[in-house]
Amino acid sequence: MCGRMALTLPPAAMAHIFEAAPANTLPEGPNYNVCPTNDVAVITGGPNQPRRMEAMRWGLIPPWYKKPNDGPLLINARAETVLEKPAFRDAVHERRVLVVANGFYEWTKDADGGRDPWYITRCDGSPLAFAALWQSWRNPANGEEMRTVAALTVGANAPMQAIHHRMPVVIEQPDWALWLGEDGKGAAPLMRAAADDVLQWHRVGRAVNSNRAEGPELIEPWEPSEAETPDSSA
């Protein structure tokens, strides 16, 4: 699962890491609480195509939707069934991208049912590259076109299962070109859980439970001695 993330590096710095040309439409950073339907930073590429970093709406909209909320909000796609689902089966062959972030959030529940957030990053400190699929959607009402994206998820590796039973597909740097279609075919084996030593996490305060929260304090480690804010999941 991946339902919230953080992008803390400036767009130009992130684009440099991925050797991509940044588009002018990238959201201003940093954003410590990127939520579904927000714009996310996406790396695109392909055979004989320059690698670019651009903004896409997080939440894939299938072409048959008449409006963005015509059906479920498709922020994630299960890797195990992506070839079967009409919303994703063409995109997994033709429109693979990387969603980039510095970290993401997951939640556990305490004894009283309160939601405790955890901030998850790479152990080596480098940015995360999530396997993702994109779809262009045209609004029938005004003809405006929107690029939308969903991140792929798989069953969690052993350490991650302590927090959640699923996790986003993390693509390692040597495999970026293959996933983007720059190195030909054969990307399917990349849809797997990360190795056990790739990710680390720490508990953060419940302020991030609100999709209106913002600021670098959201990713700071929470200490048990600190007063916990009431659980608000708005």
46: domain CATH number is: 3.90.1680.10
Domain annotation covers residue 233: no
Give me the phi and psi of 26, to 5 degrees please. Answer: -65, 140
CA distance 123 to 143: 44
Q: Is residue 169 included in any domain, yes or no?
A: yes
In a domain, 51, yes or no: yes
Radius of gyration over every alpha carbon of the chain, rounded to an integer in angstroms: 17
Q: Which residues are catalytic?
A: 2, 106
β-strand partners of 199? 122
Question: Could you tell me if residue 226 is inside a domain?
Answer: no
pTM of the model: 0.93
Which tokens is 221 given?
A: 């480690």
Q: What is the pLDDT of residues 99-113, one digit of tens each?
A: 999 999 999 999 888
The rounded distance, in Å, linking the Cα atoms of 71 and 88 is 14
Tell me if 81 is assigned to some domain: yes
Please tell me the total count of domains within the chain.
Answer: 1
Has residue 128 been placed in a domain?
yes
Within a 13 Å sphere around the CA of 59, how many CA atoms are in the beta-carbon half? Answer: 16
pLDDT per position as a tens digit, 183-232: 989 999 999 999 999 999 999 999 999 999 999 999 999 987 665 655 54
Could you tell me the residue range of the domain that residue 17 belongs to? 5-219
pLDDT of 144 above 80: yes
User: In the chain, what is the greatest distance between 2 CA atoms, to the nearest angstrom?
Assistant: 55
Residue 229 lies in a domain: no
| pLDDT of the residue at 29 | 77
